Each structure stands twice: as structure tokens, then as C-alpha cells.
């Protein structure tokens, strides 16, 4: 799979995971809180247009942004056993996104 498409897919899945995990999953696996879901989803919407267009600059900034999500995912996986599965899914999605952005940036650099 193309690294750009993999980055876009993992970013969209990370965006989709936030309301599912924080609002739709019943407690204790989720928080059942729409305010928390909104707060977790909104920052991911800022670079979304550029990520979908395949802008390297937007993907790079989104890579910086998702570092917050990997920290939260690791923290939740470590300290909150009922929410370990969605937290580890979040960590995996962030890792795939960052790795894909690295691959995409290398391919873009070689095309220049």
C-alpha cells in the first residue's frame, strides 16, 4: 500500500476512534462522555484537509499533533485496564501514521 494512503487511512481511523472510544463505548471500556469525545476529536480536525490532500506540510504537523495521542494512549493502557484495548489501538494507529508519514516524506524527497 502507498505510504500516503496508509497515512491518510490511519489518520481517519484515529479521528473515528475518538468519539467511538470516548462517547459510544459503554463504561468501563469507554468514558461515555460526549464532551471528552469532542475535546479529543477537535484537534484532529485542524490538519484534516491537508492530510486528505496529501500535503507533506500538513502531514508533518499532524505527526506532531498525534504525539499527544500516543502519550494519552500509553498512559491509558498502563493505568486503566478496562480501556486498554482502545488505548492500544490508538497507540498503534499513531505509530502507523508517523511511520507512513516518514515513508511518504522520503518518497517526496526522492521525487524532487
pLDDT band at 5 (very low <50, low <70, confident <90, very high): very high
Separation of alpha carbons 110 and 20, rounded Å: 38
pLDDT given at position 1: 67
Separation of alpha carbons 101 and 16, rounded Å: 19
Parse the chain into domains and list their residue ranges: 3-111
Give yes or no for residue 110 having a pLDDT over 90.
no
Amino acid at each position: 500500500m502507498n505510504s500516503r494512503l496508509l497515512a491518510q487511512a490511519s489518520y481517519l481511523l484515529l479521528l473515528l476512534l475518538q468519539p467511538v472510544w470516548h462517547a459510544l463505548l459503554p463504561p468501563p471500556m469507554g468514558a461515555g462522555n460526549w464532551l471528552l469525545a469532542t475535546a479529543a476529536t477537535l484537534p484532529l480536525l485542524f490538519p484534516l484537509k491537508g492530510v486528505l490532500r496529501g500535503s507533506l506540510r500538513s502531514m508533518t504537523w499532524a505527526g506532531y499533533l498525534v504525539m499527544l495521542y500516543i502519550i494519552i494512549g500509553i498512559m491509558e493502557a498502563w493505568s486503566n485496564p478496562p480501556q486498554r484495548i482502545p488505548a492500544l489501538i490508538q497507540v498503534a494507529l499513531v505509530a502507523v501514521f508517523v511511520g507512513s508519514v516518514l515513508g511518504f516524506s522520503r518518497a517526496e524527497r526522492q521525487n524532487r
